[in-house]
Amino acid sequence: MNGQSSKLPSQRPSPGKRCFTSKAIEDAIVEIKSAIADKELAWMFENCFPNTLDTTVHYYEKKGKPYTYVITGDIDAMWLRDSTAQVWPYLPFASKDEKLKKLLKGVVNKQAEFVLLDPYANAFYDDPKKKSHWSGDLTEMKPGVHERKWELDSLCYVIRLAHGYWKTTGDKTIFDSRWRKAMKLVVKTFKEQQRKDSKGPYKFERNGVNPTDTQCGRGYGNPTRKVGLIHSMFRPSDDGTIYPFLISSNMFAVVSLRQLKDIFSTVLKDNKFSAECDKLAKEVDLAVKKYAIGTHPACGKIYALEVDGFGNSLFMDDANVPNLLSIPHLGYCNLSDPLYRNTRNFSLSKHNPWFNQGLYAKGIGGPHVGEKKIWPLGLVMQALTSTDKKEILYCLKTLKNTHAGTGFIHESFHVDNPEDFSRKWFAWANTIFGELIVSLYKNNPRLLREKLPR
């Protein structure tokens, strides 16, 4: 690593082998790294923050229009969720770097194209001729689709990026006819998945796999009472829901619909569609407040992760975002909201069945990786939603002490053995770690001046 001990050599590709280089990001790395007292943490930041740009993006232009294909890392496919989360921390730097701005605009355009291809799919290929490993799934697979798991948050992330890009850069040209068509398809899909009149066009089954990788009810999921909430067959972890009303994703949808209302009223002057978005946001929000709040025997009044509208609730939290822990970060409520505080305390306690604690760490995991494993994403989100110095420093210390010598953030690791980890190249985790460090540099720089113990 430049300027650091030879024991911490840079893990980035050499400049000539990087997929994309942004001067604004490179300048930020130098500036922020110099403010971090802990040399190992600074080294991790330098490796992780640019990882999406270094290794996962492919920018090109078609008829003068920018497109950016963003793979997740070790899987050569573009998830709508991951691609937004991977580039989100670069938005504040876009106005300083025209090349970076065009790259981000390309992600918005690419996502809109994928939504128009199939709003129910979660992951896609740039090459429609590429054959998916999941082509045998019992759902309507189309050329160019890698996987077709209906995850409500996927479409929310598409809106989040477009709205964030506009608010950050002031560039309204992204809202072209193709993007507008995609957003109207998004809202149509949300309404279809309220399932007021029928089960809708989507179903999904996968033969001979772990039960979390498929859906019951002949592909439609468990029964629900139609109360205005939006069904999601899968969580952001790609695991199947038990009760189809995934509350954290419905909360995210409320935020996203409000963002669409903002765009279509302020920029596009389409008051009819803006009103449609506003009405749906209010309906879903009202249903969340009516059906998603329950009383936990140990933690009191909290949000459930999943409900069915009949009165059944699932009290747990999963590390993947959106989860209940993350809802202020996504804009649904304030950090100080009493109901959120109670829910957060539950998520980070032994009462959450997927909260794990061991010799090296404690934090939230999930069914996707099994017991005794936690997701660094959860630790990052814990820090991003905390105002407590000791808690934030604990998260930083744990992230520093569990990268297994790689200098990168992984999908998950065993709480008793960090070298037992999954996914060596997982760009979302790397970039959101960078987002945390940038956030601390801007809002709480004194915490970066502390040396972290082992």
* Chain segment 272-318, per-residue pLDDT in tens: 999 999 999 999 999 999 999 999 999 999 999 999 999 999 999 99
Q: How crowded is residue 444: how many other Cβ atoms within 10 Å of its Cβ?
A: 13
* Ranges of H-type helices in 267-388: 271-291, 338-347, 376-384
The answer for residues whose C-beta is within 8 angstroms of residue 186's C-beta and 6 or more apart is 115, 119, 155, 158, 159, 260
For residues 355 and 349, what is the distance between their CA atoms, to the nearest angstrom? 6
What pLDDT score does 451 carry?
85
Q: Where in the chain are the domains?
A: 46-51+355-454, 56-353
* Structure tokens belonging to residue 105: 């605009």
What pLDDT score does 4 carry?
40
Q: Identify the CA nearest to 418 among candidates 427, 431, 409.
A: 409
Matching residue, tokens 């803006």: 274
* Structure tokens belonging to residue 279: 């009405």
What pLDDT score does 454 carry?
80
The kind and range of the H/E element at 159 are helix 152-169
* Structure tokens belonging to residue 427: 């760009």
367, amino acid identity: P
What pLDDT score does 453 carry?
84
What pLDDT score does 432 carry?
98
For residues 133 and 146, what is the distance between their CA atoms, to the nearest angstrom? 7
* Structure tokens belonging to residue 137: 């799934």
At how many degrees (to 10) do helices 247-266 and 152-169 cross?
A: 40
What pLDDT score does 2 carry?
35
End-to-end CA distance of the chain: 21
User: What are the E-state strand segments in 34-74?
Assistant: 57-62, 65-70
Q: What fold, for 56-353? A: Glycosyltransferase (1.50.10)
Q: Which portions of the chain are predicted below pLDDT 70?
A: 1-6
